[in-house]
Amino acid sequence: MRRYSLTTRMSMMFMLGVITVLVVAGLSFHALAKHHFKMLDQQTLNEKVASAQHILSGIQNKQQFNNAEPQLNALLGAHEDLAAFILDKGGEVIFSAPESFKLPAEYLGPTRQRMFEWEAGGHLYRGLSADVPEENQSVAQTVLLIIDVTTHQHFFEMLQRWFWLGLVLSALMSAGLGYLVARTGLEPLRHVTQTARAISVRSLNDRIPLGPVPQELQELVSSFNEMLSRLDDSFTRLSNFSADIAHELRTPVSNLVTHTEVVLSQQRNIESYQENLYSNLEELNKMSRMIDDMLFLAKSDNGLIIPKQEPIELHALISKLIEYYSLLADEQCVQLNVTGHGQVLGDRLMLDRAISNLISNALRYTEPNKVISLAITSDTSRVMLTVENPGETIRQDYLNKLFDRFYRVDPARREGGASNAGLGLAITRSIVEAHKGKIWCSSRQNITTFTMEFPVPGLRGFD
C-alpha cells in the first residue's frame, strides 16, 4: 500500500475540509433560497386569493358575478405569470384568465385550501386553491390561482452549475494553497531531518537548536537532543572501554611473548621451561579473570544479571568475609570491625563478591595500625552498609569516576592483577544495581566511606 507524504496528506485534508464546508454552505443556501422563493410565491398567491374572496363575497347570482368580472380581470388577469380559475358550487368553471391556460383535471375538485405543484411543457407551476367562505353566500365556490415559477427553476439550475464549477475551482485552489501552507509549515521538520541525517559518529556532539523550531516540535527536538547526548556518552564510554581493554590486555600478552622469546632464545633445561610455563600460566589466569569480569559487566549492561531472591543476614555474611581477610589484615596490621544487623533479599554469591571488593579495596589503601569499620544500619524503607577506612582523601572530581571501568585514582598504579585492573568497583556497582540498590563514595578528612543502600525486603520469606 502506497503511503503518501505528510505534506500531501495535509493538503488533501485541507482540500476535503474546504470542499465539505462549501458543500454544506451551498446545500444550505440552496435549501434556504428555494424555501424563500416558495414563501414569496405563497405570499403572492395568498394575497391574490384574499382579494378575490373579498370581491366574490356577497355575490348571489350570475348577474352580480358578471358585474364583478372587470374587477376580477384587473386583479387576476394583469399578472403575466399568473393564471386564475373560479368554480361555482357545481364545480363548473365560471371564470378563467387567461382562457388558453389548461389546468389538470385533478386540481379542479372542491377543496378548502391547499398548495400544489406540477410540470407541463417544460414549465414548473405552483398553485393555490381556496374555498370562498360559506357565510358570504357567494355564487362562486372555489378560487384556484396558478403562478409560473419556471424562472425560479432556471435560476436554481444556473446556480447549481455555477456552484459545481466553483466547487471544482475551489478544490483545486485549496489543494494548491494547502500544499503551500503544509510545505511552509513543515519546513522546520525538514530542517530537523537534514540535521539528523548529517549526524554521524564524528558529530554526535552536534545539537539541533531550539530557537527556530516551532513549539509543537520543541518536545521532539529536545528528546532527540537528549538521545544524542546519551548516544554520545555511550559511544565515548564504549570507545574508552575498548581502548582500556586493549591497554590492559597488552601488558600480560607482552609478558607472555617476552618470557616465551627469552626461553626460546637458547636451549634450556626442563626446570627453566617449567618455570616459564608457570609464569605464563599466572599471566593467563590474570587474563582469564579479567575477561570473566568484563563479560560480567557486559551482561550487567544488557540486563542479563538476575540475582536470586533469598533472605541474607548481612552481619553473618560479612563476618565470614572478615575471617577470610583476617590473615591479610594481620599482615598489614589492620583491624576489621563489623557492627549492626540487617537483612536483604538477594543473591548470596553476588553480594559476597561486591562486599569482598570493598573490603579488598579498603585493605589496599589503609595505613598500618588503623581500623576498617563496616556498619549495618536499617530503617523502615532501606538497609545500608558502610565500609569506612582511613587513608588519603580522594579528590571530589575523582569520586565521580571511581565506579568507571579501568579507572584508577593513581594512573601510575599498574599492579597488573585482575583485582587491580580497575574493574572491582564497576562490578560492585553492577551487583548493587542488580539488587535495586545504590552505591556511592564520600571522602573527607582522610576518611573514605563507601555506602551501599538496599530496599527493605517484604516480610514474606522472613517469618
Of residues 214 and 137, more confidently modeled: 214
What is the pLDDT at residue 419?
46
Is residue 293 domain-shared with residue 327, that is, in the same domain? no
pLDDT in tens, 321-365: 998 888 888 888 999 999 999 888 888 888 888 898 899 889 888
Check residue 373 and give its pLDDT: 92
Q: Which CATH number belongs to the domain containing residue 326 in this structure?
A: 3.30.565.10
Q: What percent of the chain has pLDDT over 70?
A: 85
pLDDT at 407: 64
Q: Final residue of a domain: which of 145, 161, 177?
A: 161
Looking at the structure, do residues 25 and 109 belong to the same domain, yes or no? yes
The reported pLDDT for the residue numbered 315 is: 92
CATH number of the domain where residue 16 is located: 3.30.450.20
Q: pLDDT at residue 58 above 70?
A: yes
Average pLDDT over every residue of 22-40: 88
- Inside any domain, residue 410: yes
Q: What are phi and psi of 203, to 5 degrees?
A: -130, 35
* pLDDT tens, residue by residue, 251-301: 678 777 877 887 778 877 888 778 888 877 877 877 777 777 677 766 666
Give the position of cell 545539537.
207
The dihedrals phi and psi of 88, each to the nearest 5 degrees, come to -85, -175
- If you average pLDDT over residues 164-184, what whole number do you get? 86
Per-position DSSP letters for 164-225, written without gaps between them: HHHHHHHHHHHHHHHHHHHHHHTHHHHHHHHHHHH--GGGTT----STTS-HHHHHHHHHHH
Q: What is the pLDDT of residue 408?
A: 61
- For residue 273, give Cα distances in angstroms to 188, 281, 283: 72, 12, 15
**What value does the mean pLDDT of the chain take?**
80
* Domain shared by 153 and 10, yes or no: yes
- Asked if 102 and 240 sit in the same domain, the reply is no
Number of domains in the chain: 3
**Averaged pLDDT for residues 222-246:** 75
Q: Is residue 326 part of a domain?
A: yes
Lowest-confidence region among 244-248, 376-380, 384-388, 402-406: 244-248
Average confidence (pLDDT) over 67-83: 79
Across residues 83-110, what is the average pLDDT? 76
Compute the average pLDDT of residues 130-159: 80
Task: Give yes or no: residues 258 and 339 share one domain.
Answer: no
**Of the residues 301, 323, 341, the one at which a domain ends:** 301
Same domain, 355 and 297: no
Do 286 and 326 share a domain, yes or no?
A: no
155 and 295 in a common domain: no
- Residue 276 belongs to some domain of the structure: yes
Q: Which of 279, 301, 323 is the C-terminal boundary of a domain?
A: 301
Lowest-confidence region among 84-88, 142-146, 212-216, 452-456? 212-216
- Residues contacting 23, CB < 8 A, separation 6+: 167
pLDDT over 90 for what percent of the chain? 8
Give yes or no for residue 460 having a pLDDT over 60. no
Q: Band of the pLDDT at 375, cuts 50, 70, 90?
A: very high
* Mean pLDDT within 94-115: 71
Question: Is 80 contained in some domain?
Answer: yes
Q: What pLDDT, on a 0 to 100 scale, did the predictor assign at position 283?
A: 76
Selected residue with higher pLDDT from 419 and 380: 380
- Same domain for 341 and 271? no
Q: Does residue 297 sit in the same domain as residue 329?
A: no
User: Which helix H or strand E contains 93, and what residues bound it?
Assistant: strand 93-97
Residue with cell 542479563: 304
Give the CATH number of the domain where residue 271 resides. Answer: 1.10.287.130
Residue range 411-453, pLDDT digits in tens:
544 444 444 556 778 888 888 888 888 999 998 888 899 999 9
Angle at 327 between CA 351 and CA 345, to 5 degrees: 15
Tell me: do 283 and 324 sit in the same domain.
no
Residue 338 falls in which region: left (phi positive, over 0), alpha (psi -120 to 50) or beta: beta
Q: Where residue 304 falls among pLDDT bands split at 50, 70, 90?
A: low
Residues 248 and 379 in one domain: no
pLDDT of residue 459: 42
Task: Tell me whether residue 187 is in a domain.
Answer: no
In-domain check, residue 176: no
Q: What is the mean pLDDT of residues 359-384?
A: 89
Asked whether residue 199 is domain-assigned, the answer is no
118 within some domain: yes
Domain that holds residue 389: 310-455
